Chain A
Amino acid sequence: MWKSMFYKEWIKIRLVFWLSVIVGVGVTLAMYMIIRSELADTPVNHYLWKIMNRDFVFFTLFKFLPLGIGLLIGLAQFIPEMTEKRIKLTLHLPINEEKAGLQMVAFGVMSLTIIFSLMFLVFIGIGRYYFPYEIIRVAAITVAPWFMSGFAAFFIAGMVAIEPIWKYRIAYLVIGGLFIKMFFILWKAGSYIYANGFFLILVVLFSISILFSIYRFRKGEM
């Protein structure tokens, strides 16, 4: 049954999925192209010190990309469910409603994991070619919350889309927005090292938030 569910979700997002892969990996590659051209003008050691001592973050191009991808996948998955209240069809399927909702979320999480892993691998792989291990380690710590913001955006998009009542939709949007903001408070390289674990827990807590909206939909508050 989850196979069928994933099939449906895949039909919905496949365009957006490939687009995200292309844009995500493309931007990562483009970022290193820019760095390469910058390195042609500045000596590498100067570039390194800019990174190390002036809090220069060489991967800013990256910053909101996972957020955008998460949002896009979320919208691609949940807007078709909400137009004409198609979620009724999904909830009518002969499986538990909550399971149905979570299966859709699980599929989105899987897709995002694939896209983000690809981006991350390219990011780390090429980065290691140019820079010492320490620089890349800090870079990975710094981009981790950005990737997490992508997952958070996905969950929030789902929750807001499925939510039947406008009042709650706005409330969720506000809470969600404030939550997303947390991932971007400070972006000194490496400053999230002690917070990433906690953020991960929060994101996991958020992952089931769609159930609240499904629950209210089923109670018939519209």
Chain B
Amino acid sequence: MAAAIIILSNVIPTIYRTLFKVPGQYPSIYYSLLKDEFFTSTYDYELSIQTIKNSKGEVIPEDEFHKACPIENSFFLIKKGEFPDSISGMKIDVEKFRPESDYASIRSSFMSMPSYRLFPLMDSKTALRFPHDVCRIGKKRVEFILAETNKVDEEKSEIFTRIFNNENFNYPAKLMAGIPTVMKPYDNGWFITDSKDLFYHMKMENGKPYLKKIETPEGFKVKYVSPSTIESRSIHAYVISEENKLYILSSLDYGLIELPVYDYNPEKHYSLMFRKTPYFTKVDFSSFNQRKIYVLDRNYKLLNKFEKENKPYSELSVGKAFATLFPFNLRFGENHHSYIKFVFNGYNNFSWIVASVIFVLLNVFFIIRKKRRFKNNILDLVLIAATGIFGFIAVNLFPNKEY
């Protein structure tokens, strides 16, 4: 019966959510450096119409938008020969665009993802190709396992372990961040943390190990690293700390630059994007009902901020009904996590009591009609009072033993 309640507490709310789905709206937001203003672009897929609004909410023609955001719309402007020579007094060189442009998308699910704890370490100095082994930073040493034989390459492991020992690496590695593919402009090794949360950059260059300990502020702990493949190689990675602060790991002396963004929370904001141009960096994150964009200048100082907030689910009428109907619900994972977890949510406000009382009364009616004895059904009624609709269904599916 308990099992049935648990199953129902997942199934029924899921059906409900599917039936009364709240359509999400995901407009594109552009920042115009020229006008220091945000533009909202929505695309209607049914009518194939793009509507662009300025920050005052007025619909503006496409041309005006293209001119206001020349970087994002360079394709159109160059075609029309209208691309400006300079932006805010800075000369624009289309050729230099690409090397200084970068994009990183971090979903909260990436932060808790099942990991094999093995990774391919490529050679950063030679042509990109898959190595013949996989690397493991185990309990006592670094090991390279040859794929072909499934045996440890003792020699190579020994060389790397020595370097790690020299840097006083605390085995085993906790976090390993790299780009395990050959579909990238260059290899930049792996960013790893050890068991005492010290932060390292590990590479292999011409077969030789490279390990650099990254200086971090006092008490700093890495939560997530998204390595960058920016062509100019000006930055190593985007880093999220355990306190949900955002950093850019500069390739200049491995400097860790803290970004002035203080309200990002991956538990809520399931999507985080960095968009870097030669002129500004945009940090864009969103949750179910919130969208926030921070625009930072070339020195990562705040330029402008965009914020939009809709009513949260619990304040929408479907959400209110949800909270009333279901005292709690079970999900197999927190928002956008890659693990299956049992997450019980509920008993947030008291509206569920109404539904529970109704179901208890309904069951009392059943008991009277079936001429059962109340004494034997007290536990059932308590169960229904506590678990509402789920208990009601379960109790009626699995009747008590009654003689």
**Is there contact, CB below 8 Å, between A188 and B401?**
no
**Is there contact, CB below 8 Å, between B4 and A175?**
yes
A-B contact list, 29 entries, CB within 8 Å: A43-B148, A45-B133, A45-B148, A52-B119, A52-B134, A52-B180, A53-B181, A130-B150, A131-B150, A132-B134, A132-B136, A132-B150, A134-B116, A134-B117, A134-B118, A135-B118, A172-B397, A178-B10, A178-B11, A179-B3, A186-B332, A189-B114, A189-B116, A193-B114, A194-B340, A195-B332, A202-B6, A202-B7, A205-B3
| In the complex, A93 has a CB within 8 A of chain B | no
Which of B4, B10, B339, B340 has the largest number of chain A CB atoms within 10 A? B340
**A197, chain B: closest CB distance, angstroms:** 9
Which A residues lie within 8 Å of B136 (CB)?
132, 134
A165 vs B39: C-alpha distance when bound (angstroms)? 63
Interface membership of chain B positions 108-124, coded 1 if the CB is closer than 8 angstroms to chain A and 0 otherwise = 00000111111110000
| In the complex, A49 has a CB within 8 A of chain B | yes
A193 vs B340: C-alpha distance when bound (angstroms)? 8
| In the complex, A166 has a CB within 8 A of chain B | no
**A31, chain B: closest CB distance, angstroms:** 17
Which A residues lie within 8 Å of B338 (CB)?
186, 188, 191
| In the complex, A27 has a CB within 8 A of chain B | no
| In the complex, A90 has a CB within 8 A of chain B | no
Partner of A195, one of B119, B133, B342: B342
Which B residues lie within 8 Å of A5 (CB)?
none
| In the complex, A212 has a CB within 8 A of chain B | yes
**Is there contact, CB below 8 Å, between A192 and B118?**
no
Summarize A's interface: helix, strand, loop or mixed: helix
**A52, chain B: closest CB distance, angstroms:** 5
> A-side interface residues toward B, CB under 8 Å?
43-49, 51-53, 129-132, 134-135, 138, 141, 168, 171-172, 175, 178-179, 182, 185-186, 188-195, 198, 202, 205-206, 209, 212, 215-216
Tell me the nearest residue of chain A to B14, going by C-beta: A178
**Is there contact, CB below 8 Å, between A209 and B342?**
no
Tell me the nearest residue of chain B to A203, going by C-beta: B3
| In the complex, B132 has a CB within 8 A of chain A | yes
**A148, chain B: closest CB distance, angstroms:** 12
Partner of B148, one of A44, A175, A190, A194: A44
**Is there contact, CB below 8 Å, between B114 and A45?**
no
A202 vs B7: C-alpha distance when bound (angstroms)? 9
Q: A132-B134, A185-B340, A191-B340 are in contact. Are A53 and B7 (CB under 8 A)?
A: no
